[in-house]
Amino acid sequence: MAVNDRPQIYLVTPAEFELESFSDRLAAVLDATAVACVRLALAGTDADKIGRAADALRLLAHDRDVALIIDSHLKLVERHGLDGVHLPDGARSVRSARKELGADAIVGAFCGTSRHDGMNAGEAGADYVSFGPVGDSPLGTGARAERDLFAWWSEMIEVPVVAEGGLTVELVADLAPVTDFFGIGEEIWSAGDPAGALKALLAPIG
């Protein structure tokens, strides 16, 4: 990615939300800021609940020419007319997801802080690789995906890269030259005005 390119925005839904109120909040964000993709990251195993959310958010996103992908649930992609799947397990499922969904679907892989996993995911056919968290997090091992990883990736690898997890204004400014997308979720959804929170977070890149 060239230094002067502005990273695109990739929104991640909360793990829990009330569909009607969240739809309104998401619509306000999409109407205020150009967004490339939304990831439905609803937790749990209630297929009906996740399916209802997928249908509602698909209509909302597609009306604005925004792609909607789903976290993990490969079988729901075609059933609900989604654009693809985000795989949380690095390269492990990329080949099978690509085989099942076909060439046109988006297949992304979260690879934590591992350059090796990222390279394997790219070689297996991932459309993008995400690394994170880039900021401090009490979850997981506490390991961070450092700027050096993104700098190396953006110079050496053609597969687009997403920086996500614990983003701050300072990290947006620091990582903007070396990432293709910012994955933004919890940073804005806890705010009373998520659209305003997103604009504030993205202030360093205009």
**d(C-alpha 164, C-alpha 9), whole Å:** 10
| pLDDT tens digits, one per residue of 42-91 | 999 999 999 999 999 999 999 999 999 999 999 999 999 999 999 999 99
| pLDDT tens digits, one per residue of 77-86 | 999 999 999 9
What pTM was estimated for this model as a whole? 0.95
Q: Three-state SS across 64-104?
A: CCCEEEEECCCHHHHHCCCCEEEECCCCCCHHHHHHHHCCC
Structure tokens at 169: 């204004």
Residue 179: what residue type?
T
Q: Which of 104, 101, 105, 23 is nearest to 64 (CA)?
A: 23
Boundaries of every domain in the chain: 8-83+110-119+128-205
DSSP letter at 167?
-
Task: Given CATH 3.20.20.70, say whether it is the number of domain 8-83+110-119+128-205.
Answer: yes
- Which residues in the chain show pLDDT less than 50? 1-4
**d(C-alpha 24, C-alpha 128), whole Å:** 28
**d(C-alpha 29, C-alpha 200), whole Å:** 12
DSSP letter at 177?
G
Q: Which residues pair with 182 in a beta bridge?
A: 9, 163
